[in-house]
Structure 1
Amino acid sequence: MAVTPDQGSLVNWDSFSQARAELGANFVRILGYFREDGIRSVTQIEEAMRAQSATAMVIPAHTLKGEAYQFGAEPLADLAEEIEVTARTCVERHETPSDALEHVVRLRPLFEATLALLEREATPLVERRAAFGRRPTVTGGC
């Protein structure tokens, strides 16, 4: 049974705001890079898990960890770090990364939920565009 994370706890909004302020006009573009890199990293980790290659997990997990921390996506970064540490340990011991399986299974849903929150916060008008051209519904009042 999949556990749905509490969306309020997926992002440290103070860290997100700090990154947004520091990156300024480049913020949305860099968030786009996070999306692209994140999708690639998650896919590479899943493929490495299927191939039982701990070595192939290390770099994408490390990359995802760093980028997630940059945007305040701490649970995602922590999960990526857990995968990275497990994979590094398996490499050192010449073992398959079977201990990482439960973490890898949780990775994509957590990445997708986190990314949706980050993108919604970064571009709040995206959700409202569907209503453009329609009359607003007024209830009560004048």
Structure 2
Amino acid sequence: MSFEGSTLVDWTAFTQARSLLGAGFVRILGYFREDGVKSVASIEAAMRSGSAAAMVLPAHTLKGESRQFGAEPLADLAEVIEGIARDCVETHDTPEEAMEHVARLRPLFEATLALLEREANPIVERRPVVNAGVGGFGRRPGQFGRA
């Protein structure tokens, strides 16, 4: 499944999380980054070792934390991996079925995190600059004197 051209973040949920978390938002987003990096690495390591049981908790963690920030495609992918891993634990099977999902996890996590961090950065200009430098500070382009 390709996410190109689709939305990686539910911006309404993101805005709600930002409002609810207030001043702690950037710090909590930093925890998401740290936990997410660890979770993705743990899931990949569990896949390499064929351990479904070792995949369950990091996938579950990534799913929940992703939903908190409105990262629905990432949460959905983590949920699929978690479901496969749980089924494999129940049936005492190895998680080969999760391979294609795990292969998509890191690029999706990195793309989603980049969007979240860009939006959370207070220094980033969010409005497009039209005719920058034309008209001077506080003036519309082509306007002279008082507005």
Q: Give the TM interval when normalised to the shorter protein.
A: 0.7 to 0.9
Distance 1:139 1:50 in 2: 57
TM-score by length of 2: 0.83
Q: State the alpha-carbon separation in 1 of the partners of residues 62 and 117 from structure 2.
A: 16
Name 2:81's counterpart in structure 1: 83
**1:138 maps to what in 2?**
133
Structure 1 residue aligned with 2:52: 54
Aligned residues: 133
AA aligned opposite 1:9? T
Fraction of identical pairs, as percent:
68
Structure 1 pair 14–34 and aligned structure 2 pair: CA distance change class (3 A): same
Distance 1:93 1:120, change over 3 A: same
Question: Is 1:106 aligned to residue 101 of structure 2?
Answer: no
> Which residue, out of 60, 69, 86, partners 1:71?
69
Secondary structure at 1:125 match in 2: coil
1:110-131 deviations in Å (ceiling 9; x for gaps): 0000000000000152589xxx
- Partner of 1:96, secondary structure, is coil
Structure 2: how far apart are the matches of 1:127 and 1:41? 31
Q: Which amino acid aligns with 1:20?
A: R
Q: Deviations over 1:59-92 (max 9, x none)?
A: 0000000000000000000000000000000000
- Which structure carries more relative contact order (alpha carbon 8 Å, separation 6+)? 1
Taking the aligned partners of 2:5 and 2:32, their CA distance within structure 1 comes to: 19
Q: Which residue of 2 aligns with 1:43?
A: 41
Structure 2 stretches of 5 or more lacking a match? 127-131, 136-140, 143-147
Structure of larger gyration radius: 2
> How many angstroms does 1:138 deviate by?
3.0
Q: Which sections of structure 1, spanning at least 5 residues, go unmatched? A: 129-136
| Letter in structure 1 aligned against 2:104 | R
Q: What is the rounded CA distance, in whole Å, between the counterparts of 1:33 and 1:8 in structure 2?
A: 26
Q: What residue number does 1:19 align with?
A: 17
- RMSD, matched Cα: 2.0
Amino acid at match of 1:31: L
Provide the secondary structure at the position in 1 that maps to 2:14.
helix
Q: Which has the higher helix share?
A: 1
